[in-house]
Amino acid sequence: MKRVISIAGVLVSTVWLAACGSTTSTSAAATFSVVPATATAVASSGKTFTILGDSTHADRIITYPWQTSFTVSITETAGVGRKITGVTIKVQQATGGVIMVPTGTDQEHYDYLAQVANASIPAKGTGTVALNPVWYWLPNGGREAVVTVTFSFLDDNDSSFSESTTVNVQ
């Protein structure tokens, strides 16, 4: 399951750099810092999702076994303000930080809450987004995952675009 606040734009590639206690990625116009650098998965309870059945199989209601949380800070570096217009995530199962694409019809299931502070980021300013919590279930039964967070923006020049950063979850 994905919750989409809103969507706009074109992906802009990013370069990934490591920093003390956080993960930092840089694009032509912004720096993304993630705290903690590697998020921790903890047991979840109470939040469920449904796998729809068919005429011979009942629907299955499954509790998300894992949840994590982290905060992304976005620092505008090009001197052009921007407004966050959307936040989406994708959770993918991983081993050793490498994404392991499920086989067959298996798929990851996830849901999240995003709290946006400072949606309007001034030129050379900073905005933050807390993803707390991110609930997930992986087809391989594991807890290690890579979360890709994609932000949609509208800058002060009325240009729409998207940028992404990733977070490893252990």
| Domain housing 95 | 11-169
Amino acid occupying residue 85: T
Average pLDDT in the 118-137 region?
A: 96
pLDDT-derived band at 118, boundaries 50, 70, 90: confident
Average pLDDT in the 133-138 region?
A: 98
For residue 80, the domain's CATH number is 2.60.40
Q: At residue 6, does pLDDT exceed 50?
A: no
At residue 38, the pLDDT reads: 96
At residue 13, the pLDDT reads: 30
Q: In this structure, is residue 59 part of a structural domain?
A: yes
Tell me the percentage of the chain whose pLDDT exceeds 90: 81
For 48, 53, 105, 109, the CA distances from 89, given in Å and listed in that order, are 18, 26, 20, 11
Angle at CA of residue 116, ends 37 and 29, nearest 5°: 65
At residue 12, the pLDDT reads: 30
Q: In this structure, is residue 91 part of a structural domain?
A: yes
Q: In this structure, is residue 1 part of a structural domain?
A: no
Q: What is the pTM of this model?
A: 0.82
At residue 28, the pLDDT reads: 52
pLDDT-derived band at 102, boundaries 50, 70, 90: very high
Q: In this structure, is residue 4 part of a structural domain?
A: no
Q: At residue 92, does pLDDT exceed 80?
A: yes
Q: In this structure, is residue 107 part of a structural domain?
A: yes
Q: Mean pLDDT score of the chain, rounded to an integer?
A: 86
Q: In this structure, is residue 45 part of a structural domain?
A: yes
Q: In this structure, is residue 16 part of a structural domain?
A: yes
Q: At residue 150, does pLDDT exceed 90?
A: yes
pLDDT-derived band at 23, boundaries 50, 70, 90: low
pLDDT top residue among 160 and 1:
160
Q: At residue 33, does pLDDT exceed 50?
A: yes
For 3, 11, 64, 99, the CA distances from 110, given in Å and listed in that order, are 9, 22, 8, 16
Please state the domain count of the chain. Answer: 1
